[in-house]
């Protein structure tokens, strides 16, 4: 029955995801630059996600700005001392190609990442570093290749301390046989619900990824927000609940104690307004493990929810139709 719904075998893609950690790390091994004043990740959709995760992961360590640019143009400050990752899974994303041309004009330190397409052609013509990632995936399912290649290059550039051991820990954690069953149980709670996902800033990229996975895998609306900011505005929305919501709180066992206090009170307040709440506490031997373990739970949950809806989790037909119309 699963094969009748999951026609492009997203299940196998998820099972193979831990392999992306080591492969991505190796893909970035031979690229380095010096004299870098800022880092820019240019991408759209699933190809921008690795940049969002990088920004989250390195927020306490990177001493220079890291900007994720989801636009046709780079930030005005981009220049010869900017490390610019140009990321497009297909290699044909028009906004990203526009940014690549601008980066070349400004003599930025460019690294192109794609499975092929026009970006690969441009990289070859202009002799730019190019990381070729495997074809045949949806961009959101290839974030491991992109993220770990970028992280390796940032390390090569001596902008951060070595992450070798943490990368090994994260890969090992993703190979544990726990994610599938945990996700099945959670997905059963979410049938006919609109997921609202909350996390602290340290796991904000995880909440964003869960939201996107529900959008693109389960083909439903989902929304996310960050604590404590959410406590100052969105919380008031529970006064007049107008949707069939299910709240998911993603907690880091090492979140600041006041964040833990806020989650506890939030749960009480939300339940008072008859909205169900599920808490997921993320544990791990390092921050990188926590981020990717939490992301992996979300990917599996959105996959199983898609099956419960009888929806193939892989294609994004509405996006493809939109692209054709916009052309």
- As annotated, the active-site residues are 216, 232, 323
Could you please report the per-residue DSSP string of 84-145? EEEE-SSS--HHHHHHHHHHHHTT-EEEEEESSHHHHHHHHHTT--EEEPPSSS-GGGGHHH
Report the C-alpha gap between 12 and 315 in whole angstroms: 15
Cα 31 versus chain centre, distance: 23
What is the rounded CA–CA span in Å between residue 142 and residue 177?
21
- β-bridge mates for residue 40, sequence order: 67, 84
Distances (CA, A) of 98 to 38, 69, 91, 175: 20, 12, 12, 38
Which of 230, 235, 145, 220 lies closest to 190 in space, CA to CA? Answer: 220
- Nearest in space to 296 (alpha carbons), one of 16, 2, 51: 16
| HSE value, Cβ hemisphere, 13 Å, CA-based, for 2 | 7
Tokens of 169: 């820990």
**CA 314 – CA 17 distance, rounded (Å):** 15
Q: Is the peptide bond prior to 48 cis by the omega test (within 30 degrees of 0)?
A: no
Q: Which two tokens stand for residue 103?
A: 């980066």
Residues 40, 78 contacting (CB under 8 angstroms): yes
CA distances, 56 to each of 66, 148, 260 (Å): 10, 14, 19
């Amino acid at each position: 029955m699963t094969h009748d719904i999951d026609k492009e075998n997203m299940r196998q893609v998820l099972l193979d995801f831990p392999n992306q950690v080591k492969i991505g790390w190796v893909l970035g091994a031979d690229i380095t630059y010096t004299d870098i004043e800022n880092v820019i990740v240019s991408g759209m959709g699933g190809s921008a996600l690795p940049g969002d995760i990088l920004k989250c992961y390195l927020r306490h360590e990177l001493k220079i700005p890291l900007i994720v640019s989801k636009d046709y143009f780079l930030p005005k400050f981009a220049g010869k001392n900017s490390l610019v990752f140009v990321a497009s899974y297909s290699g044909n994303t028009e906004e990203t190609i526009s940014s690549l041309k601008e980066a070349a004009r400004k003599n930025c330190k460019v690294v192109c990442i794609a499975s092929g397409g026009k970006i690969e052609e441009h990289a070859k013509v202009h002799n730019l570093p190019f990381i070729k990632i495997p074809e045949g995936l949806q961009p959101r399912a290839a974030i491991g290749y992109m993220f770990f290649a970028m992280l390796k290059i940032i390390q090569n550039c001596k902008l951060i301390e070595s992450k070798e051991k943490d990368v090994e820990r994260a890969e090992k954690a993703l190979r544990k046989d726990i994610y599938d069953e945990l996700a099945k149980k959670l997905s059963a709670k979410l049938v006919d619900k609109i997921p609202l996902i909350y996390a602290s800033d340290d796991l904000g990229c995880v909440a964003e990824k869960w939201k996107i996975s529900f959008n693109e895998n389960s083909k439903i609306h989902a929304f996310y927000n960050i604590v404590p900011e959410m406590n100052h505005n969105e919380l008031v929305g529970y006064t007049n609940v107008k949707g069939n919501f299910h709240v998911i709180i993603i907690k880091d066992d090492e979140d600041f104690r006041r964040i833990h206090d806020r989650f506890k009170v939030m749960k009480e307040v939300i339940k008072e307004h008859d909205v169900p709440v599920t808490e997921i506490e993320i544990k791990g031997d390092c921050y990188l493990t926590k981020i990717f373990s939490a992301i992996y739970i979300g990917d599996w949950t959105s996959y199983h929810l898609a099956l419960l809806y009888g929806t193939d989790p892989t294609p994004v037909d509405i996006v493809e139709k939109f692209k054709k119309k916009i052309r």
